[in-house]
């Protein structure tokens, strides 16, 4: 089985079209079909159901597709490491949830890049889970999850944070009772922090139903929530570290809400082997992030 055949399979399965992938790959449709048939022959199974509307995966094709991205990423990672060894370059993939990859992480990387001119750094947004590190998709994960219970992954706490409620500076009050909070227009951020679940549990303990909360809309983006509360009498919730370092001086303020507190810790996660190789880079990244959050 050739890696290129597997790559073609992945692209076709994703696009559900042989012609689309052939065009983007600058090869003929018949040549691409031959590559896919070779893959099917090597695996001794049919991977696609072909029709005039395109292609769909067979049950066996679904199994291959499920593992395919991991195999391709591991292969790419291997090539990067070999290339880095020969060229003295170091390729580092950093991922995290959207609120961090759009604020904190690019700031920190820009700050330290001069000290590491041979580092090729890539930043991506992702689900908040350990699979990307385990499957060699990313080298470093910065998130609000501790992966210390997973073999070979090291987690270090960067910042002891909390979720705070925020509003436009024109919001008429600085604090709210639970009853007032339930009636105040609220923009719910339901991202990988699973804040909605935390809020629902807390409200239940206080004998309130989250279904009765006055929700303007739900989003998976903190930026959307922040824009949504601008110049109106509404509130949302974000990590304090991000509020303090990004939004505090942009016309927003914290709203204290009775009996609602949500402690939160930020972690940097990586494999033990990476730390042995990139100790200086990781420690510099940690200290820069801490400085950014505490500034």
Which of 40-49, 99-108, 188-197 is least confident? Answer: 188-197
Look up residue 152 and give its DSSP letter.
Answer: T
pLDDT at residue 130 in the model? 73
Does 1 score more than 70 pLDDT?
Answer: no
Higher pLDDT, residue 81 or 243: 243
Higher pLDDT, residue 194 or 175: 175
Could you tell me if 107 and 242 lie in one domain?
no
Alpha carbons 37 and 45: distance in angstroms, whole number: 10
Strands 215-219 and 186-189: parallel
pLDDT at residue 69 in the model? 81
Instruction: State which of 51, 66, 82 marks the end of a domain.
Output: 82
Does 190 score more than 90 pLDDT?
Answer: no
Q: How confident is the model at residue 129 (pLDDT cuts 50, 70, 90)?
A: low
Q: How confident is the model at residue 233 (pLDDT cuts 50, 70, 90)?
A: very high
Does 192 score more than 70 pLDDT?
Answer: no
**CATH number, domain with residue 60:** 1.10.10.10
pLDDT at residue 231 in the model? 85
* CA-wise closest residue to 286 among 79, 105, 65, 64: 105
Averaged over 95-113, what is the pLDDT?
A: 90
Could you tell me if 74 and 96 lie in one domain?
no
3-class SS at 47? coil
Alpha carbons 284 and 281: distance in angstroms, whole number: 5
Could you tell me if 284 and 140 lie in one domain?
yes
Q: How confident is the model at residue 125 (pLDDT cuts 50, 70, 90)?
A: confident
Instruction: State which of 67, 82, 97 marks the end of a domain.
Output: 82
Mean pLDDT of the chain: 88
Averaged over 141-156, what is the pLDDT?
A: 87
Alpha helices in 184-221 (DSSP H): 195-205
Could you tell me if 31 and 145 lie in one domain?
no
Which of 65-69, 124-128, 172-176, 232-236 is least confident? Answer: 124-128
* Long-range CB contact pairs, 195-200, < 8 A, 24+: 195/163, 195/237, 195/262, 198/163, 198/262, 199/237, 199/260, 199/262
Higher pLDDT, residue 145 or 88: 145
Give tens-digit pLDDT for 206-224: 999 999 999 999 988 888 8
Could you tell me if 94 and 49 lie in one domain?
no
Q: How confident is the model at residue 167 (pLDDT cuts 50, 70, 90)?
A: very high
Q: How confident is the model at residue 84 (pLDDT cuts 50, 70, 90)?
A: low
Instruction: State which of 47, 82, 117 marks the end of a domain.
Output: 82
Could you tell me if 173 and 251 lie in one domain?
yes
pLDDT at residue 94 in the model? 94
Number of domains in the chain: 3
**CATH number, domain with residue 112:** 3.40.190.10
Q: What is the DSSP string of 96-137?
A: E-HHIIIIIHHHHHHHHGGG-TTEEEEEEE--SSSHHHHTTS
pLDDT at residue 160 in the model? 92
pLDDT at residue 72 in the model? 85
Instruction: Determine if residue 16 is left, alpha or beta; phi over 0 gives left, psi from -120 to 50 gives alpha, anything else beta.
Output: left
Could you tell me if 176 and 46 lie in one domain?
no
Give tens-digit pLDDT for 24-65: 888 898 899 998 998 999 999 999 998 888 899 999 999 998
Could you tell me if 53 and 173 lie in one domain?
no
pLDDT at residue 293 in the model? 85
3-class SS at 63? helix
Dihedral Cα 144, 150, 154, 155, nearest 10 deg: 20
Could you tell me if 274 and 136 lie in one domain?
yes
Could you tell me if 168 and 253 lie in one domain?
yes
3-class SS at 257? strand
Q: Do 113 and 121 contact (CB within 8 A), yes or no? A: yes
Q: Which residues contact 256 (CB under 8 A, 6 or more apart)?
A: 165, 174, 175, 176
Give tens-digit pLDDT for 5-21: 898 999 999 899 999 99
Percent of the chain with pLDDT over 70: 95
Could you tell me if 42 and 114 lie in one domain?
no
Does 87 score more than 70 pLDDT?
Answer: no
Q: How far is CA 259 from the centre of its chain?
A: 30
Question: Where in the sequence is the domain holding 37, given as residue range(s)?
Answer: 3-82
Could you tell me if 58 and 145 lie in one domain?
no
Q: How far is CA 287 from the centre of its chain?
A: 21
Phi, psi of 126, deg, nearest 5: -155, 170
């Amino acid at each position: 089985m050739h890696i290129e055949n597997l790559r073609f399979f992945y692209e076709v399965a994703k696009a559900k079209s042989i012609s689309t992938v052939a065009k983007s790959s600058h090869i003929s449709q018949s040549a691409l079909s031959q590559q896919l048939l070779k893959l099917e022959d090597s695996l001794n199974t049919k991977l696609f159901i072909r029709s005039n509307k395109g292609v769909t995966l067979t049950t066996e094709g679904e199994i291959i597709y499920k593992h395919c991205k991991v195999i391709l990423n591991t292969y790419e990672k291997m090539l990067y490491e070999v290339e880095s060894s020969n060229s003295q370059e170091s390729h580092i993939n950093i991922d995290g949830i959207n609120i961090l990859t759009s604020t904190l992480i690019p700031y920190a990387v820009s700050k330290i890049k001069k000290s590491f001119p041979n580092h090729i750094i890539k930043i991506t947004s992702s689900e908040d889970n350990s699979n990307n590190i385990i499957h060699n998709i990313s080298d470093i994960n910065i998130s609000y999850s501790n992966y210390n219970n997973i073999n070979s992954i090291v987690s270090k706490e960067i910042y002891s944070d909390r979720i705070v409620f925020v509003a436009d500076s024109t919001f008429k009050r600085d604090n709210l009772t639970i009853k007032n909070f339930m009636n105040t227009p609220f923009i719910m951020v339901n991202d990988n922090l699973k804040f909605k679940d935390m809020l629902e549990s807390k409200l239940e303990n206080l004998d309130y139903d989250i279904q009765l909360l006055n929700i303007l809309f739900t989003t998976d983006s903190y930026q959307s929530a922040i824009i949504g509360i601008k110049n109106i009498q509404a509130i949302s919730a974000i990590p304090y570290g991000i509020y303090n370092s990004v939004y505090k001086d942009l016309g927003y303020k914290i709203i204290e809400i009775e009996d609602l507190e949500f402690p939160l810790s930020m972690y940097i996660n990586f494999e033990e082997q990476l730390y042995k190789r990139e100790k200086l880079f990781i420690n510099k990244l940690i200290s820069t992030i801490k400085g950014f959050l505490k500034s």
